[in-house]
Every structure is written in C-alpha cells, then in structure tokens.
Chain A
Amino acid sequence: DQQVKQNSPSLSVQEGRISILNCDYTNSMFDYFLWYKKYPAEGPTFLISISSIKDKNEDGRFTVFLNKSAKHLSLHIVPSQPGDSAVYFCAATLGSGNTGKLIFGQGTTLQVKP
C-alpha cells in the first residue's frame, strides 16, 4: 500500500522554464512533508519541507505547495537549471511524537535541457 505516490516517473523541461513535480498521499494523519533531491551515485539530500499548517513554503527558486483537502503537494522550480536534473522524492511523516520515520514516494526524474 503506497501511502505517498509520485505518478509521473519522469519530467523534461527547458532551461529557464518552470518545473512542476507532483505528489499525492493517502494518509490524512501526515502533517509534515519534505522533498529530497538525488543525483546519480549519491544519497538523497534534503531540499525543502512544509508543515501541514501552511499551504506554501518558498526557498529561493524552490516552492512547495500543499493542498490538504486534495491530499496533494507539488514542488515548483523557477527558473529551472540544468543542474536541477536529478531524481526528486517527496516524503511525508507524522509530526507529533515524530520518530523521524519518513514515507517516500517512488521518485520523479527531472531532466532540464539547456
């Protein structure tokens, strides 16, 4: 049972344009969401997060949007750069009494073309 789903295995965008990566979840108890970025032959690294009490969090070129009613979050990258080409994982966890246990999606491979 996949509680966190990334339905698009891959995405290709032109440099300078917006990249939008999507993620859906099923567990309404999740109250903290994260995006991780992974380059080949490296481990995932934390990118940006959002608490369920917010609907938007921005960090430079990266913005995460959360729609709790739809159980959907998205990551926007503007403008996209070739160095953003990587696999992006969304993850969710339970905040209160959190043990640090993350539930990850399958990942979306982003390719930014020069």
Chain B
Amino acid sequence: DAGVIQSPRHEVTEMGQEVTLRCKPISGHDYLFWYRQTMMRGLELLIYFNNNVPIDDSGMPEDRFSAKMPNASFSTLKIQPSEPRDSAVYFCASSLREGAPDTQYFGPGTRLTVL
C-alpha cells in the first residue's frame, strides 16, 4: 500500500488567500484525522472522521477552517482566508478501527507558509 498521501507537500501563499490541503487515506481505513504541528503546541488534533462523517471538530481553531470527506478515499482541509499564524505542518492520518490508537498511520505532511 502507498500509505497516506497528502498534497501538496509544500504550500506558500499570501495572507487572505484560500488554501486547500488534500489527503488520501489508506484504502480500507475508516478513520481519518487532521493534525497541525507547531513548535509551541506540538501536534494538535483538528478534526476526525469516521466513515466519512465528522465526529469531533472541537480542535478546529476558527470558522476559517473547514474540513470535508466526500468519500472514503479523499478528504480536504480548507483555510479561508489564511493568516500568517496558520503557518504550520498539517498532517493527515488514518486508522482501521476504533480503540486502537497505535494504528494511526500518518502522511508526510503539508508544510504551509502564509506570508
């Protein structure tokens, strides 16, 4: 299996622009997680889905952030409008089943820079 695929790997944009990050989970996995990594706070869970349905979005920082999972093989995280403080590495992860936290497989991440 190719693992979790994220695109783009790097994104540089200007403040106020819309940013869309993409994720393809491992085939057959029914949980999908979006994380953000910053120096100050480490890895923060933003939102996660089960069978394409958002379960917990309490980590989404503001209304500027939104996430969708239109089907089992694709998810997007959108920031509109983007701000410099959104600069971070965004990870997508997927897992096969509930109750198994050590089965989360992470993608390589998208490094976002907002100027």
A-B contact count (CB 8 A): 74
A34-B109 CB under 8 A given contacts A44-B43, A104-B44, A106-B39: no
Chain B interface residue number, banded: 20 to 34
From residue 78 to 114 of chain A, which have CB atoms closer than 8 A to chain B? 89, 91, 93, 95, 97-107
Residue in contact with B108 in the complex, picked from A2, A41, A49, A98, CB distance below 8 Å: A41
Interface SS of chain B: strand
- Of all chain B residues, the one with the shortest Cβ separation from A94 is B101
Interface SS of chain A: loop
A6-B42 CB under 8 A given contacts A44-B91, A99-B56, A100-B48: yes
**Could you give 11 example pairs across A and B, Cβ below 8 Å?**
A32-B101, A43-B107, A46-B103, A98-B99, A100-B95, A100-B100, A100-B104, A101-B48, A104-B44, A106-B41, A107-B37
Beyond contacts A49-B101, A95-B99, A106-B40: 10 other A-B pairs, Cβ-Cβ < 8 A, are A41-B108, A42-B109, A98-B101, A100-B48, A100-B98, A100-B101, A100-B103, A102-B104, A105-B42, A106-B41
- Cα(A32)–Cα(B98), bound, Å: 14
> How many residues of chain A get a CB closer than 8 Å to chain B's CBs?
27
Q: Does B1 contact A (CB under 8 A)?
A: no
From residue 40 to 63 of chain A, which have CB atoms closer than 8 A to chain B? 41-46, 49
CB-defined contacts of A105 to chain B, threshold 8 Å: 42
CB-defined contacts of B63 to chain A, threshold 8 Å: none
- Cα(A6)–Cα(B43), bound, Å: 12
Asked if B106 and A49 sit within 8 Å, CB to CB, the answer is: no
Residue in contact with A107 in the complex, picked from B31, B42, B98, B106, CB distance below 8 Å: B42
Asked if B108 and A107 sit within 8 Å, CB to CB, the answer is: no
**Nearest CB of B to A6, in Å:** 7
- Cα(A104)–Cα(B42), bound, Å: 7
